[in-house]
């Protein structure tokens, strides 16, 4: 199942869409089946937490709607309310090599790998969908793209074992972990508004037979920048989930951006990033200046 959140000129904001081939079927009516919430709302995304129960209603609502081209709507982040966005620093060996070699990336620092750094957090308020685009801040500094497989947690948990980890995955998306280079902590440089892009939709885990062997790439305008396969990850997906949950409880809708391969590079206002992951889909993300 491919699910997106979108804005439509006629229907309004925050519609739920089911994507079949290149067509979008409105399934917003299925949201009426969500249990009501009262304050304080629980951690995590309410739709993801109830997705298994809602699936028949989503299919049914889609069957009753007239499809439109996906390109005719504004795609937002398919996860609306994650309790956290987790990032994986230096989780591909060849990205480690380029970071060590490029002083614009390392700024004179000794760059190590994920074994040393562990994980980091990106602000939830940085999350956008592909059609909302990236608004660059600090135009005098280098702003880089990082394309990554994004894992979306379904059933939450703490101290999840590697053997049990895949059972906790709800879905996959393309993630862009945008970064301004500088000396500040990662959480600040990668937590800027619009610097976490998720899309074009979520693909439920049952559709991805082996997320550990997925080709992916990103182009900026017509230039191929990054091209790799998730088999090159240093910490693979089960290890990332086990490691993260050894520190913090994971909740439905939590997003793990699994790390980026070699080929990170700068973007400037006016660029368009085109990202693709085999079996997940592709998305185009425009870059503009914040002001
Ligand atoms: Mn990253």
- Hey, where are the domains in the chain? 2-76, 85-289
Could you tell me the pLDDT band of residue 27, with boundaries at 50, 70 and 90? Answer: very high
**169-194, pLDDT tens digit by residue?**
999 999 999 999 999 999 999 999 99
Which pair of structure tokens corresponds to residue 289? 């200046």
Percent of the chain's residues with pLDDT above 90: 99
Q: Which CATH class is domain 85-289?
A: alpha beta
- How close is the Cα of 142 to the center of ligand 1, in Å? 15
- How close is the Cα of 61 to the center of ligand 1, in Å? 36
Query: Is the Cβ–Cβ distance between 223 and 150 less than 8 Å?
Result: no
Q: How far apart are CA 34 and CA 56, in angstroms?
A: 13
- How close is the Cα of 21 to the center of ligand 1, in Å? 29
- How close is the Cα of 261 to the center of ligand 1, in Å? 9
- How close is the Cα of 17 to the center of ligand 1, in Å? 28
Could you tell me the pLDDT band of residue 252, with boundaries at 50, 70 and 90? Answer: very high
Could you tell me the pLDDT band of residue 160, with boundaries at 50, 70 and 90? Answer: very high
Q: Which residue has the tokens 């709607």?
A: 65
**89-142, pLDDT tens digit by residue?**
999 999 999 999 999 999 999 999 999 999 999 999 999 999 999 999 998 999
First to last CA, the chain: 38
Model confidence, pTM: 0.97
pLDDT average, residue stretch 200-229: 98
- How close is the Cα of 259 to the center of ligand 1, in Å? 5
- How close is the Cα of 63 to the center of ligand 1, in Å? 38
- Compute the C-alpha angle 53/57/59, nearest 5°: 115
Q: Which of 61, 87, 66, 86 lies closest to 3 in space, CA to CA?
A: 61
């Amino acid at each position: 199942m491919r699910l997106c959140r979108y804005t439509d000129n006629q229907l309004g904001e925050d519609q739920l869409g089911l994507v079949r081939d290149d067509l979008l079927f409105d399934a917003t009516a299925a949201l009426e089946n969500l249990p009501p919430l009262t304050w304080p709302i629980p951690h995590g995304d309410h739709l993801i937490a109830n997705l298994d129960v809602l699936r028949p209603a989503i299919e049914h609502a889609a069957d009753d709607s007239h499809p439109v081209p996906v390109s005719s709507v504004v795609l937002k982040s398919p996860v609306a309310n994650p309790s956290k966005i987790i990032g994986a620093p230096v989780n591909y060996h060849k990205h480690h090599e380029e970071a060590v070699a490029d002083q614009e990336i390392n700024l004179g620092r000794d760059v190590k790998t994920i074994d040393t750094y562990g994980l980091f957090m990106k602000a939830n308020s940085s999350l956008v969908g592909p059609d909302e685009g990236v608004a660059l801040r600090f135009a005098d500094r280098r702003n880089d793209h990082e394309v990554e497989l994004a894992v979306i947690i379904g059933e939450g948990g703490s101290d999840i074992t590697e053997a049990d980890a895949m059972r906790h995955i709800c879905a996959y998306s393309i993630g862009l972990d945008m970064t301004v280079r500088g000396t500040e902590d990662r959480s600040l440089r990668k937590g800027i508004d619009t610097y976490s892009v998720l899309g074009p939709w979520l693909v439920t885990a049952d559709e991805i037979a082996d997320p550990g062997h997925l080709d992916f790439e990103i182009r900026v305008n017509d230039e191929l920048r990054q091209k790799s396969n998730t088999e090159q990850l240093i910490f693979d997906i089960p290890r990332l989930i086990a490691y993260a949950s050894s520190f913090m409880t994971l909740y439905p809708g939590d997003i793990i951006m699994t790390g980026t391969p070699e080929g990170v590079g700068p973007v400037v206002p006016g660029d368009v990033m085109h990202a693709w992951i085999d079996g997940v889909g592709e998305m185009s993300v425009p870059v503009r200046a914040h002001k």
